[in-house]
Structure 1
Amino acid sequence: MLNRQDLFTVHMAARIIAKLAAWGRDLMEGSDLNYYFNWIKTQLSSQKLHGTGPDSSGQGTISPSESSQYVQCVAGCLQLMLRVNEYRFAWVEADGVNW
């Protein structure tokens, strides 16, 4: 679900995954957790690289307001995940802090 072309679907799936991981009975672990954290880091770094300023215009890109909404969604997913101690430790181990 996180590799689809439709950004709306991707980010809604990411929110659902974060909610299930944070509030669910079972913790996400192993390769699933690493994949999700790497996806979050990739999303945040791609927004940082592409930016939303005036020089980031071009065909096939999303508008700055849509980009801002997606960055907020990814940041919200990360915040939700970091509420759980186990995920916080895994985020630090995945070098999410130094990224």
Structure 2
Amino acid sequence: MTKITREEVKKVAYLARLELNEHEINNHAEQLEKIMEYIKQLEKIDTYDVPCTTRAIEVVNVFRKDEKKNSDCTEELLDLGPSREDKYFKVPKIINE
């Protein structure tokens, strides 16, 4: 694997519209090189029989039974609004006819 060059970092920074100073260019080149070395190590691991996963810990939905509940709080809810008319919220007119 080739070394990440300063020119490659500059090119990627340019394409990403990032302004990097000389220190940042050197720093990113070193960090990217370390990341590539780590990937090289991971590629050596045999994962032939390892099943694919999307999460490190399996997530399971907890379901509850849907139950119909009667609720008669219409008046209380309508009273919370700024204005009402019969069983509806009254709002300012926003469309001209």
Higher relative contact order (CA 8 A, sep 6+): 1
TM-score over 0.5 for the pair: no
**Larger proportion of strand:** 2
TM-score normalised according to structure 1 size: 0.29
Larger radius of gyration: 2
TM-score normalised according to structure 2 size: 0.30
